[in-house]
A and B are shown apart, each in its own frame.
Chain A
C-alpha cells in the first residue's frame, strides 16, 4: 500500500502489567484495535477486564508504577504516543484527545467555579487572548452542551449542579478544543436512566457535528448497541470478539459474548412466583406512609425548609410475592426501605406487619420483627464488616437472636447457609476482602437468611454488580423464594431488572407513587407518562431486541 490509510488511533499488541505485593497481574494482555475518524468504537467488558486501563494508556494517566507497559504501540494519526516526550503528550492530551470520566464530581475541583474550570482548558493551551475571552468561550460551550442560563451558572460551583449537569460540564471541558478523539469511560453509569439517555444523545449529536472519533468504554450492552458502530469485547485483558456491532451481537462467535447476551434481562424467562390462582394473604401493608426531612440552608437558622421524601405511599406485600419499587435517585425508594427496617420513623402513616403496627413495636416485639424482616444492601463491600470472618458475619443474626439456635450448632448452620447461596462451606474461615463483589453479595444473602426471615428487603441489591453476576443473583433470589417461602421488596432504579422477577411493581418519583400494579400491565400498558419515559429510557435498541428473542427461541 503506497498511500497507506492511517487510522485515527491504532493500538497494537498493547500489554500492561501491574506489579504489586501480590505478584504481577496482566491487566491488558495484547490488545489491538483501531478507531477511524467519525466512528464510534465500544469497548465492552465487565469490571477488571482491563477496558479502563487501555484508555488510561492512551491518555497517559496510567499510574506507573505499579503499572508498566511491557509491549505494544499506540499510534495517533500515525505517531507513536508511547515514544513521545511527556511535553509532546501533554500537548496532544486535551487538545486532540480528550476523556470523559464516569464520576464527574471526582474530576471537578470543588473550590473553583465551573466556568473557570472550563475556561482553564483554553488558557492552558493558549487558545484564548485573555481571561474574559476564555470565559466567553466557556459560556458558549456550556450553552452548546445544554446547560440553561449558562452565563450565570458559570459562576456556580460543582456541588450546585446535578449529576447529569456535571456530566454535561465534563463533556464541555472535553470538547473545548475540538479534539479529534474522545474517550468516554462509562460516561453515564453513575446517572439515572432518563438522564443517561439524554447524555448519550448529546454525545452522539456532538460527535456527528464535529466528526470526532469516539471510544466508548462501557459494561452496558444496551449503551453499546445504541451508540457504537463497532465493538471490541474484552475479557481478562484480551479481546474475545470484535467487529461491526450488529454482526457481533447477532452472530456471536465467542462463548463470552453469548453469555453476556443471555444476561440481558429477559421477558420470556419469567422468574416470578407461582402464577396467581387466589389472592395470597397480605404480609406487609403500608398506608399513607409519609416522611419529611428538615433541611437547613446555610448557617442562618430559621431559613430551614421541609423536604417530603416519601409522600402518602400505599402498598401491600403478599406472602411469597415480590414487590418491585422502581425509581430514580431522590424518588424516596431508599427512604421506604429505611422506614420498613425501622431505621427511621415516619412523619405520618402506618405499616402493618402480620396485622401488627410496625411503628409501635417495642422491646421483644421489635426484636421479633427484626428477626422476620431482613435486608440486603446495595454495596457488598460496605455491608460486611471487614474485621469479621465470614462465619461470624453469617452467624451474626444467630448471635443477636439467641433463641434461634444453640451456639454449638452455629457452625453447621453457617455451612448450610453458605451452600444454600452457592458458596463453599470452607469459605466460612475467610474474610470479606477475599471475595468478589458477587460472592460478597451471596454472603450478605446468607446472613439475611440465617434468622429464617419471612421478608427480605433488597435495596439496589444487584446494582453494584456486573450484568452477568446480576442475573445469577436474581436467579438465586428467585430460587430461595420458592424453597423458603420468602417475600421480597426489591428496590431498584433499573426497570428491566425487575421485569422477570417482580409480581407487582410500584414506580416512584419525587416521593410519590406514580404507578402501581401487576408487572405485565405496567410494562405492556403503562398508564403514566413518567413510567413510559422510564421504560423507553431503559429499553434496548430495537435491532437488539430482535436478536435477543431469536437467540432465546433458538436456544
Chain B
C-alpha cells in the first residue's frame, strides 16, 4: 500500500497528558505569553487581597506628601510617589485595581456574550430576524458612543452597574457584526453542510462547528477592547457620570493626574502604565490562545518540529 507510506511518518503520539499539562507546556513555549499570564495572575491576586491589606493607606490623606515624587526615602508606600492629596500612589493603584477590573471585565464580558449571541442568531438564521438585529445595531453605531453614554447615564443616574451597562451597550455592535460576518462565512463551509446532512442539531452545528471558528477572533478583539473600555470609563468618570469619589479606578486616577501633568507626571504615569501593562498582557495572551487552539498553528508552540 504505497499511498500510506508517502506521508505517514507517524508522529510520536505524546503520552496522554492532561489538558492542563498540555496548556502549561504550550504556555512555557511562548515566553512573552508566560510573562503576560504571570502578570495577570499577580493582578488577580492583587484584586482579591490588595484592598484588605492596604486599604487604609489608599485613603489616608497626608498633606505633607502632596504630589510627592517617586523615591525610596519615604518608605515603600511612597516608592511611586504620592497623589494630589498625598495618598500613596502604590496603594491606590493596588486598591483601584479591583474596581477597574470589575468594571472592565464585566463590561467586556457582557458585550462579548450579548454581541456574540445576537450575532450567532443573525448570522445563522438570516432573514427578518437578522435584518431587525442589524438595523438596531446600525442605530447604536451611528450614535457617537460618548453621547449614548451621557444620555443613558443622565437618565439612569451614575452608578457602577449603570456604567457597566452603558460601556457594554456601546461595545456590543463590534462583536455582533464580527460574529455575524464570521458565522455567515462558516455556515457556507462544507463541513457545516456535512454536519447538517449527518443530522446534527442546530445547537451542535453552532457550538461544535461554528463557534470554535468565531471565538478566537472575538477574544482578540476583546483583549484590544479592554484598554478602550478602561479609557472610556475614565472619560465618563471625568465628566462626573462614571465612578464617583470616594470610589476610584485607574482611569479616574489618570484623569485626576491630568491637571498636574506638567509638575507631577507620576500621578498619571503609574496608573497609565498599569492600564497599558494589563491591556498588553491580555493582548499577548489572546494571541497565544489563538495559536494554541488552532491545530494548524499549534506546531509553532511545540518546539517547531515538523509534523508531516
Q: Which of A157-165, A181-189, A291-299, A422-430 contacts its partner?
A: A422-430
Size of the chain A interface, CB-CB below 8 angstroms: 46
Whether A371 sits at the interface, judged by CB under 8 Å, is: yes
Whether the Cβ atoms of A387 and B198 lie closer than 8 Å is: no
Whether A343 sits at the interface, judged by CB under 8 Å, is: yes
In chain B, residues 61-97, which have Cβ atoms closer than 8 Å to a Cβ of chain A?
A: none
Whether the Cβ atoms of B295 and A377 lie closer than 8 Å is: no
Whether B245 sits at the interface, judged by CB under 8 Å, is: no
Whether the Cβ atoms of B204 and A400 lie closer than 8 Å is: yes
In chain A, residues 424-481, which have Cβ atoms closer than 8 Å to a Cβ of chain B?
A: 424, 426-427, 429-436, 438-439, 444, 447, 451, 469, 472
Q: Return chain B residues, CB-CB under 8 Å to A384.
A: 191
Q: Which of B5-13, B103-111, B128-136 contacts its partner?
A: B5-13
What is the 8 Å Cβ interface bit string for chain B, positions 223-242, against chain A (1 contact, 0 not)?
A: 00000000000000000000
Whether A341 sits at the interface, judged by CB under 8 Å, is: yes
Instruction: Count how many pairs of residues, one from A and one from B, have CB atoms less than 8 Å apart in the complex.
Output: 90
Q: Return chain A residues, CB-CB under 8 Å to B191.
A: 382-385
Q: Return chain B residues, CB-CB under 8 Å to A429.
A: 13
B184: shortest Cβ distance to chain A, in Å? Answer: 16
Whether A379 sits at the interface, judged by CB under 8 Å, is: yes
Whether the Cβ atoms of B4 and A423 lie closer than 8 Å is: yes
With contacts A343-B197, A400-B199 known, is A424 near B8, CB below 8 A?
yes
Whether B20 sits at the interface, judged by CB under 8 Å, is: no
Q: Return chain B residues, CB-CB under 8 Å to A432.
A: 295
B35: shortest Cβ distance to chain A, in Å? Answer: 23
Whether the Cβ atoms of A387 and B308 lie closer than 8 Å is: no
Whether A73 sits at the interface, judged by CB under 8 Å, is: no
Whether the Cβ atoms of A343 and B199 lie closer than 8 Å is: no
Whether B200 sits at the interface, judged by CB under 8 Å, is: yes
Whether the Cβ atoms of A383 and B194 lie closer than 8 Å is: yes
Whether A374 sits at the interface, judged by CB under 8 Å, is: yes
A343: shortest Cβ distance to chain B, in Å? Answer: 6
A342 to B198, CA, bound (A): 10
Q: Return chain B residues, CB-CB under 8 Å to A126.
A: none
- Closest residue of chain A to B297 (Cβ to Cβ) is A433
Q: Taking chain B's interface residues, is the majority helix, strand, or loop, or is none over half, making it mixed?
A: loop
Whether B142 sits at the interface, judged by CB under 8 Å, is: no
Whether A330 sits at the interface, judged by CB under 8 Å, is: no
Contact pick for B197, options A21, A341, A387, CB 8 Å: A341
A183 to B4, CA, bound (A): 34
With contacts A400-B204, A433-B295, A436-B7 known, is A385 near B209, CB below 8 A?
yes
Size of the chain B interface, CB-CB below 8 angstroms: 35
A133: shortest Cβ distance to chain B, in Å? Answer: 45
What is the 8 Å Cβ interface bit string for chain A, positions 270-303, against chain B (1 contact, 0 not)?
A: 0000000000000000000000000000000000
Whether the Cβ atoms of A426 and B306 lie closer than 8 Å is: no
With contacts A370-B197, A374-B198 known, is A387 near B294, CB below 8 A?
yes
Whether the Cβ atoms of A375 and B197 lie closer than 8 Å is: yes
Whether B293 sits at the interface, judged by CB under 8 Å, is: yes
What is the 8 Å Cβ interface bit string for chain A, positions 363-390, against chain B (1 contact, 0 not)?
A: 0001100110011010100111111010
Whether the Cβ atoms of A387 and B293 lie closer than 8 Å is: yes
Whether the Cβ atoms of A383 and B4 lie closer than 8 Å is: no
Q: Return chain B residues, CB-CB under 8 Å to A399.
A: 204
B47: shortest Cβ distance to chain A, in Å? Answer: 33
Whether A546 sits at the interface, judged by CB under 8 Å, is: no
Whether A409 sits at the interface, judged by CB under 8 Å, is: no
Contact pick for B306, options A22, A389, A435, CB 8 Å: A22
Whether A515 sits at the interface, judged by CB under 8 Å, is: no
A432 to B295, CA, bound (A): 9
| Residue contacts A-B, CB under 8 angstroms, 19 given | A341-B197, A343-B196, A370-B197, A382-B189, A382-B191, A383-B191, A384-B191, A386-B295, A396-B198, A397-B199, A400-B195, A400-B199, A400-B204, A422-B1, A424-B4, A424-B8, A427-B10, A432-B295, A433-B296
Contacts A386-B296, A387-B212 supplied; 8 other A-B pairs, CB < 8 Å:
A382-B190, A383-B190, A387-B213, A422-B1, A422-B4, A424-B8, A431-B295, A433-B295
B residues in contact (CB < 8 Å) with A: 1, 3-4, 6-8, 10-11, 13, 189-191, 193-201, 204, 209, 212-213, 293-296, 299-300, 304, 306-308
